[in-house]
A and B are shown apart, each in its own frame.
Chain A
Amino acid sequence: MNELRRAFLKNAGAAGALLAAAGAGLLKSGEVFAAAWNKLAFSSNNVTDAMKNANYGGAIESKDIMLKVPDIAENGALVPVEATSNIPGTTSIAFFVDKNQYPLVADFDLASGTEPYISTRIKMSQTSLVRVAVRAGGKTYMQSKEVKVTIGGCGN
C-alpha cells in the first residue's frame, strides 16, 4: 500500500490535472451557489498558500476558538473535527490539514443567525496539525491541534 502511495506522490502532477478537470465540471452547475468553487485554494499544496488563497492569510492564534479533535485517529479516512468560535461576529469557519496533499478541507460561510459551530468528519493522509481558521469582523484567527494518524485516509 505504501508503494502505491509513493507512486502517487511522484505523480502529483497528474492528480493536479484531475483536480483541474473537477473544477471545470463544476462550472456547469454552480449557479445555485453564492460563489464559484475556490479552485485556487483547494489545489494549493501547502498550508500557508491554502490559507492565503482561502482568504485566511495571516490568521492570528486565538484561545477563543475551541477545536475538538481526537489525539489519535486510528483511521485517517474518518477523523471527527468540531470547531466552536467564541469570537463575536464570526462569519466563517474553515478546516485545514497541514500534511494533506491539498490542505484546505472545507470552508463554511455562516449567516448571522447561525451559531459559530461546525462539526464534521475529514480525511487525513498522515499525522498532522489540524487547523481551524475563523473570519470575524474582517479579521482572521486560528487554532490548531495535532492528530496522530495510524492508518492514512488519502490516496492509499
Chain B
Amino acid sequence: MADEMKMRATMQGDVTDVKVLMTHIMETGLRKDPKTEKFIPAHFVNHFVATLNGKTVVDAQWGIAVAKNPFINFRIKGAKPGDKVAISAVDNLGTQYTGETTVAAK
C-alpha cells in the first residue's frame, strides 16, 4: 500500500497546480462489522505534508471524515518545471506513505 500515491504537478501560468490521490481505506472507527456487530477499528491518515524542493508548503492534520482514497488539490507559487514536489503522510497506525513528482510545464 505504501507506494500507492498518484501525483501530478503542472504549471498553470505562474502557479503550480498539484493534485494528489492516495489509496487509503480511511476507516472511521464508527462503523460496525455487520457479521460480528463489533466496531471496525479506526484506520485513517492523520498527517499530510507537502514539500517543494524539501521546503514545506502544506502541513495538514486530518480526521476520520476525509473521504476514502483521499484526493487533495493545492497550488503553489514560485515553482518551475523540474522542481520536486513530495508528499509525506502517516496514518493513525504509524504507517508512512510517500510520493514524489516533478513539476511539468503545461
**Which residues of A come within 8 Å of B, CB atoms?**
4, 7-8, 11, 14-15, 18-19, 21-23, 25-26, 28-30, 32-35, 37-38, 42, 77-79, 82, 97, 100-102, 104-111, 113-115, 117-124, 153-156
A116: nearest chain-B partner, CB-CB: B75
In this complex, how many residues of chain B approach chain A with their Cβ under 8 Å: the count is 45
Q: Looking at chain B's contact residues, is the secondary structure mostly helix, strand, loop, or mixed?
A: strand
Apart from the given pairs A33-B59, A105-B66, A109-B58, 14 other A-B contacts in the complex at a CB distance below 8 Å: A4-B32, A19-B42, A22-B44, A25-B92, A30-B47, A32-B47, A35-B59, A78-B68, A108-B74, A114-B75, A115-B77, A118-B74, A122-B67, A156-B31
In the complex, are the beta carbons of B60 and A22 less than 8 A apart?
Answer: no
Counted as pairs of residues, one from A and one from B, with CB atoms less than 8 Å apart, the total is 159
What separation, in Å, do the CA atoms of A42 and B92 have in the docked complex?
A: 13
On whether A153 and B67 interact (CB within 8 A), knowing A19-B42, A34-B56, A108-B60, the answer reads yes
Q: Does B105 contact A (CB under 8 A)?
A: no
**Chain B: residues with CB nearer than 8 A to chain A?**
15, 26, 28-32, 34, 39, 41-42, 44, 46-47, 49, 52, 55-68, 70-78, 88, 90, 92-94, 96
